[in-house]
Structure 1
Amino acid sequence: MDNPLHTLAGAAADWSAREITPEVDHATRRAVLDWFGAMLPGCVDGPAPLLTRALESGRGSGGAVTYTDGQRGSARHAALLNGVASHTAEFDDIFRDGGYHPGSPTISAALAVAQDLGASHDAFQRAVIGGYEVGCRIAMALQPSHYENWHITATVGTMGAAVSTAMLKGCDAEGIGHAIAIASSFAGGHQENLVGQGLTKPLHCGHAADAGVLAGLSAAAGVTGSPDSLHAPHGYAAATSDSTGNWGAAFAGLGDWTPIARLTLKNHGCCGHIFPALDGMRALIAAHGFGRDDIRTIAVEGYGPTKSICDRMAVNSPRDARFSLQYCMSALLHLGDVRIAAFTPDALARADIRAFMDRVSVTRAEDIAREYPRKRMARLAVTLNDGRVLEHFQRTRKGDPDDPLSDAELFAKYDELAATALDPETARALRDRIMTGTELLGAVAPVARAGGRNRD
C-alpha cells in the first residue's frame, strides 16, 4: 500500500493548479454560501458570543474577520470563533459517505487564513476544495468504527483545516503532508460531548479550525511530522478506529470526482440522523393525506446513531431538541417543518409538541444499520386512529447527492438563516457575491459591518 498521507497530500497539492470545472466551481460556491447560512445564527446565539467576550484579549492583529462582532484579528482567533458559530444551529453541510461535516472546520479556517493573507478568491477556492478532498477521504477511511467514540467532525476536521491553511501558505505536497501529520496529533473530541449535556459540541468545530490553522502554519514554518502518522500501528487510524484505515475505500475515485461536488446540504435544522424519518413522514402524508390528529403511534426504524444518538425523550434545551427524533417529528407535524422556528423558546414550551412525543418510538434495524454510513435510511410504520397501519421505506434524504437541494431551495434556506443576523439587503448582497463574485474580501466586508451592528 502506498503511504496514504503522501497520497492525500499529493491530491490536495494538485488542486493548487488543476482546472476547476464549472461543476466544481458551482459546488464550492454553494458550500461557502451554506457555511455562511449555518454560521450566522451562531453569531447571535449559543456559545460563540460568550467566547467572543471571554477571548477578546487574545484577538491579536491581522485581517481575519470574527463574525460574532465584525472585528478583525488573527487567523486562529477568527477560525476558532467562526468555527464555533458555524456548528451551533446544526445546519452545516455533510459528506454522507464519511459521516462528516467538512464545512464548519475547513471553511472557517480557510476563510480566516485567506482574509489574513489577502489571498485571491481563486486561492481560497482551491484551499477549500483541497481541504474537503483530504478531510472527506480520511473520514471514509475511519468510518464507521471511529464514530463509536469520536466526533468525526472534531477530529478529521482538524486535518481538513490544516490542509486548507497549508495550501494558502503556498506549501507543496511535502509541506501539506506535514500539516496533516501535525494535525493528527491535535485532533480530538469525544462522543459524550456530542450526545451528552452541555454546550461543548460547537466548540469541537472551533477547536478543529483553530488547531488546523496552527498545524498548517507550523508546517509552512518548517515544522515536520511523521509521514506514517495516519496508518502506522500507533498512528491516528489505529488509535481511533478498529483498523489502520480502510484506505481502499478512501481513495476510490480519487482524481475522477471530488467530495465537495458530492455534499449533503441540510434541509432540516437538526441532527442529520433524523432526516430520513422526517422525509419519510412527509412522503407518507403526501401519499395518504392524513394529519397529526389522525395519528395514534409512529414507529421509526433506523441505523445505529438513529437509536444511540437520537432516541431522546429528555429535551431541556434547543441542543437537546435538535438531537431528539421524537421532538423533531412532533415539531414537523405541528409546525410544518423543522427549521429555526422549531427550536425557539416558544416552540420548546409548547405542551402539544411535548405531548405528541410519547407517540414516537425509535429502534435499530440491522438491515438498515449494515448500509450506514453510505446510505441513510429509515422505515416508518404509522398507526392511525382508525386502525390502519401505513408503512414507508425512506431510502435517502432530501439534500443528499441523489436528491439535492436546488439553488432556489438553498437560497431560501440561506435567506431564512441569514435573517437572524443580517438585514435583507446585506444578506442578499452577500449571497450574490458568493455565488458570482471573484473578489474574496469584497464579498465578506459587508457581513463584518452588519454582524457588529446587529449584535448590539
Structure 2
Amino acid sequence: MELSPMIARYITMTNYEDLPDEVISFTKLCILDYFGSAFAGAKKEPIQMIDELVKEMGGEEQATLVTGGKSSVMNAAFVNGAASHIVELDDIHKASIIHAATVVVPAALAMAEWKALSGKDLITAVAIGYEVCYRIGEAVTPSHYYYWHNTATCGTFGATAASAKLLGLNEEEIIHALGNAGTQAAGLWEFIEDGAMTKQLHPGKAAMNGVISTILAKKGFTGARKILEGNRGFFKAMSEKYDENKVINRLGEEFKIVENSFKIHASCRHTHHAMDLMIELVKEKQINVADVDNIIVRTYQVAINITDNVDPTTQYASKFSLQFCTALALLKGQGGLDDFNDATLWDEEIRSLMERVKVVVDPEIDAAYPEKWGAKVDVHLKNGSIITKQTDFPKGDPENPVTSDELIDKFMKLAKDLPIEQRKIFASRVLALETLDTISELFESVKTIDSLG
C-alpha cells in the first residue's frame, strides 16, 4: 500500500478515546512547553519583523497571535511557529531530529481556535501531528539532516496532519494535503554559516504551509499521491538513504510523542551533552577554572557539523557554538535564556576558555547517534591530571527526564512578561485542556498577551 493512504487512514481513525492516559498527560506538557518558548520569543527582533509583515498584509481575525491581537489562521500559524523557535528552548525528538512543538502546535492551535474546537480535539491533533512528522523524520535521518532542517521539512507533514484532523478531512483529502505539504517542505542549513535570521522562517512557514495544504485539500485542490516514496518525491530528492518502513512500522500501535525530549539550556540541543557535564563538574566542585589547561569534547559528527564554531559573533551564533556553550556552562554553572547575551558573548574569561576547547568525533559515540546524543569530555588540568565525564543522554531525554514540575517552572520563567497570576491560570488550563469546550477559553486567561509583542 502507498504511504500517504496509510498515513491518511491513521489520521482519520485515531481519536481522543484511543489515546492512553500517559499520552494525554504528556501531550499537554508538550503544549505547555511550546507556550513558554513562544511567549519568550514574542519580543525578539526577528519575530517582531514577521509580526509587522503579517499585520501590514492584513488578515481576518481568526486566531490569536502570541505577539498580540489576532489574524488569519495562516498568519497565526506563521507568527506563532516562528516565535516558539527563536529562544532555542523548544522540544526535540532524537531519532527524527525534529522540534515538533514549534510546527505542530501553532498550526493546530490556529485551526482549533478558528473552528471553535475543544481541548480534546487539540490534544488529539497534536499527538497525531507529532507521530506523522517523527516517522517521516526517522525515515530520512541522518542523511537528510546535513543540508535540510528536519523541523522545517518533515515538520510540514506534522503540521498538515494535525490541521487535517481538526478540519475533518477524509482520507482522500488528506492524501492531497500531504502531497502539497511535501512539495512545499523546505529549510536549508546555510543560515548557520553567518547566523542569519532565516531559521525562524523554517517553523513558521512549516506551520503555515500545513494550514495552507489542509484548507486547499478541503476545497478539492489535489496533490501528489506518492509525495514521499515517488520517483520525484520527498525521499529520493532530499536524502541519500531512507527507510520507508519507519513510516508505517507499528503505526497506530504506539505514540512516539512520549519519546520527546525537553530542553533546559537555551542553545542548540547538540551542545547540551557537554553543557550538562560541565555543570556537573561545577556542582561537584571538582574543578577550578584557573587550573584548566584544555578541554576535549568527544561527540558525534552531526554535532560538530552544526556547532563547531570557534568564534561566534552574535548571541544567536553563540547558541550554535559547542566551544562557547562548553565554556559558558563551566564558568557560569548554567545555560539558561538569560545566560546568552552580549556580556557573555564577549566575556574575556569565556573567550579565553573557548580557545582551549577542542571538539572531535568519537567513533563509538558517532555510531550510537541518533539513538544516543552523547559526549565524553576530558578536562586536562595544568598539574597533568585529567577529569573525564561522559553521558549518553542529555538532561530532558526520556532516559534522563525532567519532571512535570520542572516543566511548569520552566514555563513560569519563560513567560515572565505575563503577570504571575495569569501565568498560573494559563498553565492550569493547559494542563486541564481536556475540560475546555473551546480553545478560546485558553487565551481568555491571558488578558495582557498584547504586552508580549
TM bucket (normalised to shorter chain) is over 0.9
**Partner residue of 1:401?**
398
AA partner of residue 209 (structure 1): A
- Tell me the SS of whatever aligns to 1:180: helix
How many residues are paired up?
A: 450
Q: Distance in 2 between matches of 1:350 and 1:451?
A: 34
Q: Distance in 1 between matches of 2:236 and 2:362?
A: 28
**Cα deviation, residue 148, structure 1:** 1.2
The aligned runs of 1:55-454 (5 Å cut-off) are 55-68=54-67, 70-243=68-241, 245-285=242-282, 289-419=286-416, 421-437=417-433, 438-439=435-436, 440-447=439-446, 449-454=447-452
RMSD: 1.6
AA partner of residue 25 (structure 1): I
- Tell me the SS of whatever aligns to 1:181: helix
Q: Distance in 2 between matches of 1:55 and 1:17?
A: 33
Q: Distance in 1 between matches of 2:60 and 2:332?
A: 45
**Partner residue of 2:51?**
52
Q: Distance in 1 between matches of 2:58 and 2:343?
A: 36
**Partner residue of 1:33?**
32
AA partner of residue 366 (structure 1): P
Q: Distance in 1 between matches of 2:258 and 2:343?
A: 38
Q: Deviations over 1:168-189 (max 9, x none)?
A: 1111233222211110001111
Unpaired segments ≥5 residues, structure 1: none
**Partner residue of 2:7?**
8
Q: Deviations over 1:132-163 (max 9, x none)?
A: 11111000011110001111111111111111
Which one is further off, 276-285 or 26-35?
276-285
AA partner of residue 207 (structure 1): K
Is the CA contact 2:2–2:226 (under 8 Å) kept in the aligned structure 1? yes
- Tell me the SS of whatever aligns to 2:376: strand
Q: Distance in 1 between matches of 2:43 and 2:236?
A: 39
TM-score using structure 2 length? 0.95
Is the CA contact 2:63–2:71 (under 8 Å) kept in the aligned structure 1? yes
Which one is further off, 282-291 or 36-45?
282-291
Q: Distance in 2 between matches of 1:287 and 1:346?
A: 26
Q: Deviations over 1:192-251 (max 9, x none)?
A: 0245431110111101111111001111111121221100121111000014x3122333
Which one is further off, 59-68 or 343-352?
343-352
AA partner of residue 223 (structure 2): G
Unpaired segments ≥5 residues, structure 2: none
Is the CA contact 1:16–1:167 (under 8 Å) kept in the aligned structure 2? no
TM-score using structure 1 length? 0.95
Is the CA contact 1:309–1:323 (under 8 Å) kept in the aligned structure 2? yes
- Tell me the SS of whatever aligns to 1:84: helix
Q: Distance in 2 between matches of 1:362 and 1:34?
A: 31
Q: Distance in 2 between matches of 1:17 and 1:340?
A: 35
- Tell me the SS of whatever aligns to 1:281: helix
